[in-house]
Amino acid sequence: MRLELKHIHKHFGAVHANDDISIAVESGTIHGLLGENGAGKSTLMKILSGFIHRDAGEILLDGRAVAFKNPAEAIRAGVGMLHQDPLDFPPLTVLDNFLFGREDGFMQNRAGALADLQRFSRQFGFDLDPDALVSSLTVGERQQLEIMRLLSLGAKILIFDEPTTGISLPQKIKLFETLRLLAKQGMTIIFVTHKLQDAEDLCGKVTVLRLGKMTGQVTHPFTADQLVRLMFGQSLETRARASVALGEPILELRDICVADYRLRVPEINLQVRAGQVIGLAGIEGSGQRLLLRACAGLDQPVAGDIWISGARMNRQPYRDFLERGVAYLPAGRLEEGLVPGLNLTEHFILARRSREFFIDWRAAQDAAQSRIGEYSIRGVPASRVEALSGGNQQRALLALLQPNLNLILLEHPTRGLDIESTMWVWSQLLARRQRGAAIVFASADLDEIFEYSDRILVFSGGRVARALNAQETSVQQLGELIGGKGL
Ligand SMILES: Nc1ncnc2c1ncn2[C@@H]1O[C@H](COP(=O)(O)OP(=O)(O)OP(=O)(O)O)[C@@H](O)[C@H]1O
Ligand SMILES: [Mg+2]
């Protein structure tokens, strides 16, 4: 089935998530859709598969215009999507999941379905027990089940939204084999990724999106170089930075390994000195947050040693990290940083180090008022934090930091902020640095990483590159590392 997307537009409020996207895909080919976080890849694919509706534009299947009201209509027309987050039902068995979405319903014709399942399994060399619970399967096996289910429903165009996240290398090899086989059988495959290597290995053509716009298309053979330029633009140059005399080592990581239930990042080594700024680059969810939380004393690293100002901090309570002047600003301002329901005055009271039993509310209001002025927060002492804009919430978080910090850890310090607030936030952070604080921040924004870091630590696919000197690193090199090349 030949697919054409023509001039697709989609807005979410002020965000133009898809801005005039046009792509054509021939049947029997694998088409890559590449782009960094927030580029608009999932949005475009959800439009194609009927999960959300476009604002404007056309979708043609074999030259015929279609408009899907919902995913069921899309799959009837032959378009199936494997989502970034699996949509299966873990408490059910493999066979019940396989039956889901069939016109003949849940209970009918199990024998026929079982035969279908076994036929597909043989064809692709999958080995799934029909009676196993989906909750007992690996992510790779759940994908296999979903592929077979969509095929049984008549899919001719299969969309894979970042299918290699969270699966092991052997599973990935198996998945790529399957994709090639599907293409050979005449399927139209769209493969969404932000990994350069995967796009190179698999795709005949690649379309690159950036901030909602199409930045270009390449046809095999293409180079990683071309992809990086399209993904990240080439507008970045190394800029001169105010130099700061570096002080004592503040943070030292020796063979740290951080992990959660789906990700494990071993062998992180880093030394950060007073006055130094370290940027953590990489696609979101590659371990940056885990490392920041470990450095803040919020999570234990799985292995390795954390030293702060000359003291080994392994298994020390969070309070000890605070006492050593460590502060952590999470990305979730309202979820983790502030307390919705409380106003600014109440926040300043909570953030005090001293804990007198009685609170002088009049004095607290006055103090809040002066802090609001000092940090240019658009609000009053009685403003509840959830009523503030993102930029003002971030200002409030900075206003809550203790005056003499040694180590400031930040996750996406300027995400969602306008240019003025962004500059303001960084002027505050750089002033802290001038006073001797070390700063470690994670950002998905390469401009921000280049502009403010002295050294850059790149996270990609469960690994971390040796810390790079920001002045000596090109966008090209950084882009390739983020895409998993040369790690
Ligand atoms: N349901 C929604 N409501 C509001 N904004 C949304 C919604 N879905 C996506 N967006 C916004 O649209 C933009 C594109 O998001 P999208 O999920 O398509 O990106 P993506 O390229 O798939 O990124 P990722 O690599 O992180 O998966 C982002 O700015 C995102 O915040
Ligand atoms: Mg996505």
Q: What share of the chain is helix, strand, coil (3-state, %, to 5)?
A: 35, 25, 40
**Within a domain: residue 291?**
yes
Residues 397 and 408 in one domain: no
Residues 318 and 371 in one domain: no
Q: Report CA(83)–ligand 2 centroid distance (Å).
A: 9
Residues 92 and 111 in one domain: yes
What gap in Å lies between CA 378 and CA 3, rounded to an integer?
49
DSSP string, 131-188: TSBGGGS-HHHHHHHHHHHHHHTT-SEEEEESTTTT--HHHHHHHHHHHHHHHHTT-E
Distance between start and end Cα atoms, the chain:
38
Residues 410 and 397 in one domain: no
Tokens of 393: 């919430």
pTM over 0.95: no
Among all bound ligands, the one having the nearest atom to the CA of 39 is 1
Tell which atom from ligand 1 comes closest to the C-alpha of 39. Answer: 21
Report pLDDT digits (tens) over 119-144. Answer: 999 999 999 999 999 988 888 889 99
What gap in Å lies between CA 376 and CA 387, rounded to an integer?
16
**Within a domain: residue 429?**
yes
Domain of 371, in residue numbers: 342-401
**Within a domain: residue 76?**
yes
**8-state DSSP, 46:** H
DSSP string, 205-234: EEEEEETTEEEEEEESS--HHHHHHHHH-S
What gap in Å lies between CA 458 and CA 286, rounded to an integer?
9
Torsion angle in degrees (nearest 10) through CA of 314, 319, 323, 324: 20
Candidates 10, 12, 164: which one to mutate for ligand 1, based on the most atoms within 8 Å of Cβ?
Answer: 12
What gap in Å lies between CA 43 and CA 40, rounded to an integer?
5
| Domain closes at, from 208, 232, 256 | 232
| pLDDT given for residue 238 in this prediction | 43
| pLDDT given for residue 328 in this prediction | 94
Characterize the bridge pairing of strands 326-329 and 407-411: parallel
Tell which atom from ligand 1 comes closest to the C-alpha of 44. Answer: 18
Ligand 1 contact, 42 CB (< 6 A): yes
Q: Ligand 1, atom 9: nearest CA belongs to which residue?
A: 43
| Amino acid residing at 305 | D
Residues 166 and 243 in one domain: no
Q: Ligand 1, atom 8: nearest CA belongs to which residue?
A: 43
Report pLDDT digits (tens) over 168-227. Answer: 778 888 999 999 999 999 999 999 988 888 899 999 999 999 889 999 999 999 988 888
**Within a domain: residue 109?**
yes
**Within a domain: residue 412?**
yes
Q: Calculate the CA 382 to chain-centre distance.
A: 35
Residues 16 and 83 in one domain: yes
What gap in Å lies between CA 49 and CA 132, rounded to an integer?
28
Candidates 293, 299, 297; CA nearest to 280 is 293
Candidates 11, 36, 42, 196: which one to mutate for ligand 1, based on the most atoms within 8 Å of Cβ?
Answer: 42
Torsion angle in degrees (nearest 10) through CA of 464, 465, 467, 473: -130
Ligand 1 contact, 40 CB (< 6 A): yes
| pLDDT given for residue 226 in this prediction | 86
Residues 148 and 15 in one domain: yes
For 460, the 3-state DSSP assignment is strand
Among all bound ligands, the one having the nearest atom to the CA of 38 is 1
For 54, the 3-state DSSP assignment is coil
| pLDDT given for residue 447 in this prediction | 81
pLDDT-flagged residues of the chain (< 50) = 235-239
Ligand 1 contact, 89 CB (< 6 A): no
CATH classification of the domain holding 84: 3.40.50.300
Which single residue is written with the structure tokens 């071993």?
Answer: 266
**Within a domain: residue 288?**
yes
| Domain closes at, from 401, 434, 449 | 401
| pLDDT given for residue 62 in this prediction | 96
Ligand 1 contact, 39 CB (< 6 A): yes
Residues 462 and 473 in one domain: yes
**Within a domain: residue 58?**
yes
Residues 88 and 161 in one domain: yes
Ligand 1 contact, 195 CB (< 6 A): no
| pLDDT given for residue 234 in this prediction | 57
| pLDDT given for residue 336 in this prediction | 85
**Within a domain: residue 334?**
no
Residues 372 and 418 in one domain: no
Residues 263 and 411 in one domain: yes
Residues 417 and 359 in one domain: no
Number of domains in the chain: 3
- Evaluate whether 401 touches 412 at the Cβ level (below 8 Å): no
Ligand 1 contact, 484 CB (< 6 A): no
| Domain closes at, from 232, 256, 272 | 232
Which single residue is written with the structure tokens 């920041």?
Answer: 292
3-state secondary structure 233-277: CCCCCCCCCCCCCCCCEEEEEEEEEEECCCCEEEEEEEEEECCCE
| pLDDT given for residue 106 in this prediction | 53
DSSP string, 397-445: HHHTS-SS-SEEEEESTTTT--HHHHHHHHHHHHHHHHTT-EEEEE-S-
Among all bound ligands, the one having the nearest atom to the CA of 194 is 1
